[in-house]
Amino acid sequence: MFDLTGKKALVTGATGGLGGAIARTLHAQGASVALSGTRIESLEALAAELGERVVITPCNLADKESVEALVPAAEEKLGGLDILVNNAGVTRDNLFLRLKDEDWDSVIAINLTAAFRLSRAAVKSMMRRRYGRIISIGSVVGTSGNPGQGNYAASKAGLIGMSKALAAEVASRNITVNVVSPGFIESPMTQALNDKQREGILSDVPMGRLGAGVDVAAAVAYLASGEAAYVTGQTLHVNGGMTMI
Amino acid sequence: MSDVAERVKKIVVEHLGVEPEKVVDGANFIEDLGADSLDTVELVMAFEEEFGVEIPDDAAETIVTVGDAVKFLSKSA
């Protein structure tokens, strides 16, 4: 089950906590993986750890030209692209009244617009090959909202709508488009929370713990696999029961 | 029939899975040949590949029949 041997995957934000776990899991299932991110040393370290079937494709998702070049670069280095994981994301949290235009624009640009451009580029060759898996990493706050994250929540909700529209367009070409929506996962992003915030969060999670990167990565591996062929336009929530929708 | 027309018709037949005799100059991809809008995008991509040209979006929108494609590609190929 969930064998990805011979499949070619591109993971953005691969040097982050979640992206690293996703890249490792897809690789462990047999996929060849292109690791993308801005920190080249971290990309190289992860590539060295994984050994074979791995290439690095650095990219600054805030830069349009850099984004446009990423999918062609990954396709060239891997010899095609079967799986795109839009994982990279940033936060610029602030109360809505204090949210600056720059904070809004940069979060939308990296979390949503880059995912749009990468998906548009990837779907072109996936259509030709009549096979593809596009998986975007959303967030529970895209569905539930969260104070202080108007920009982030909007970007993650945007991914869901975008994925549904694209899923409907390309389903006949054997391409599935889905969102994996994590709750609170152990990562540099959640490590920035103080103890009180952590306690508050955990009281809302029936599972009583933060999620691990592998919890999310396993959901990605499932949606990337042949077994998930009939699943498209969906949001798979991985949140320890925090929000049940 | 010109070489361009030959190649265009071959692509259309293969891609849309239609009878070759239906692929006449006046045939509208969507109305006569059963293409959906995504098929028309794919056809344009296939033409680009076959003829090694780039078909800009505004030009692609004007290619609605087999004859339109032949005419456009004869000019640019």
Domain boundaries, chain A: 8-238
Sequential pLDDT tens for chain A (245 residues): 999 999 999 999 999 889 999 999 999 999 999 999 999 999 999 999 999 999 999 999 999 999 999 999 999 999 999 999 999 999 999 999 999 999 999 999 999 999 999 999 999 999 999 999 999 999 999 999 999 999 999 999 999 999 999 999 999 999 999 999 999 998 776 787 788 888 888 899 999 999 999 999 999 999 999 999 999 999 999 999 999 98
Q: Round to whole Å and give the CA distance between A128 and A178.
A: 20
The DSSP H or E segment spanning B38 is: helix B37-51
**pLDDT on residue A7:** 98
- Catalytic positions of B, please? 36
Band (B77; pLDDT cuts 50, 70, 90)? low
How many C-beta atoms surround the C-beta of residue A79 within 10 A?
Answer: 9
* Reported ipTM: 0.81
Mutate to test the interface with B, among A123, A125, A126, A127 (most CBs of B within 10 A): A127
Superfamily of domain covering B3-76: ACP-like (1.10.1200.10)
Mutate to test the interface with B, among A128, A130, A175 (most CBs of B within 10 A): A128
Domain boundaries, chain B: 3-76
CB A156 within 8 A of CB A243: no
**pLDDT on residue A195:** 86
- Catalytic positions of A, please? 152
How many C-beta atoms surround the C-beta of residue A221 within 10 A?
Answer: 25
Out of 3.40.50.10160, 3.40.50.720, 3.40.640.10, 3.90.1150.10, which CATH number does the structure's domain A8-238 have? 3.40.50.720
Q: What token pair was written down for A34?
A: 């292109």
